Structure 1
């Protein structure tokens, strides 16, 4: 969520307003949504005054910050960082500032890590992202071995698990990650054929739309046959009005955001605990995705969850 203590997303506020306008008592709707009656009245009042835009988050920054470091001093801090690669402990005495203040300034301008800066020019190079949600969606497939009933080697031990494994086959986890917000969705399928990939793309676009991303503009994938040659895939892109893009051959880092999401998927869902059946693991996916999108702190978003970037595409709070 955008604000640290915000209870509802923009989508949740829209549901609240619809229920109140449908004739239900505000107190009942507020109790259902887990908010106070004054909060419910506030969103209804804003909707009536401003329409859909009234449900968006507003910056919590105060109108005046008289004690903030002057812009000229901030520019000098950034200049010393870029040109001389100095850290807070050395910049502080030069400008007469506490090291903690210098660190906050560098963090604000994304200069706090030298690994993110091009050494010769001082230009930030590490992070890249699109300017708005939906501008680019990363898609990839992760292949996982199915779990036999009773559990595999993680539950029974390697020797016993090998005896029960047999020819279980594989699950194919299709995942889509929005480049700007890191909002993600995943589905489990028995294959990665063109028709399966196309169906997932259509449902992923519908998921993003329901979360507040009205349109998918571009889709980035690897060079698998289904994405390069699949007619069903091309038809799905055309139906969305989206453009398909392929990564460079043998350069998976081009699709790095979904590749990194796959690692999180394995660590925090697939391998987080021993499952006793393939069905048990599949049923746990929905809870993981909800936590990832709405509650899990994302380091690339200043420790906010991905849904915060959907509610605030300009990045006011991240």
Structure 2
């Protein structure tokens, strides 16, 4: 028997006054009166404990907002994009709506049965994150596989800014080769400037450091060294060093899986261009304070290679040797004709221009064909006689993290 019922029986059948019952059972006289009224109206059921929860809440999330939260969740999931509470809040704010708290959004999607329970994750305190302090301080690069609709395997190469997660380059090819890596790097540098360093795995298109010293540097290593860019490579069998680009591949493949299958590489590259825009401009990133990569990339001054950071004039361009064995370069307001040699006519070159010094490297092989120090009083520039030719020798190991 509940205490409430005992109090009522003491008054109705025991003859106690309301004041006496209140004193004996340690309650207020008003409560005794309330119990008697409830019993008169509802019998013993009226004596049960009632919820103190208010019948209405002025701060409750409106049904319209709740419906939009669930609709956004469904849209983002169907597009293969992140659909967590913080991302949903970001999209609501971009739409001009007042977004509920992230915790409220989490409760809404959880109550709707849209959150699958996950095993206990590793605590954030156990993670040691390495992150560049400036845009262009470190570019990560790697490539991954993707199949066309008919099962044909392709390879997708990317360059990702370590500081901002900005997707600098993304393209698909039948196979990633050394010349493709060079081409992708130069296109990216032309659009965004040169990085101070690069971070890749130990694939042969990036480095020959694990080839036992055979063959010397490859084309990418030669180019990077000539530009004064620090080259960093992860430890073998330790992909965590390139964790950002590895995680990016998961995001990319999740999105591609939600799109119509590409039948050609050209079609796949159209999808990749669409994804690159979404990733850089329409998708907030948790690791950069819920900014988009484009916002993070453009809010901070860029880093540069050591020689550029010293204030010296430095540029890179590509050209092709003409039939007479020359290439033309504008320097100090005049066109200069650099004599590469007829033996190299029609070859494609990378010209590294550092103040008055010019190095001509064969595109795709990394071989240094000629070096010049421009004489500002002359139009024709003969090459130096001590041009070293291909660079040889091993590559010194570097740190395994940015």
Whose relative contact order is higher, 1 or 2, with alpha carbons under 8 Å and at least 6 apart? 1
Normalised TM-score (structure 1)? 0.50
TM-score, normalised by the number of residues in structure 2: 0.40
Question: Which of the pair is proportionally richer in strand?
Answer: 2
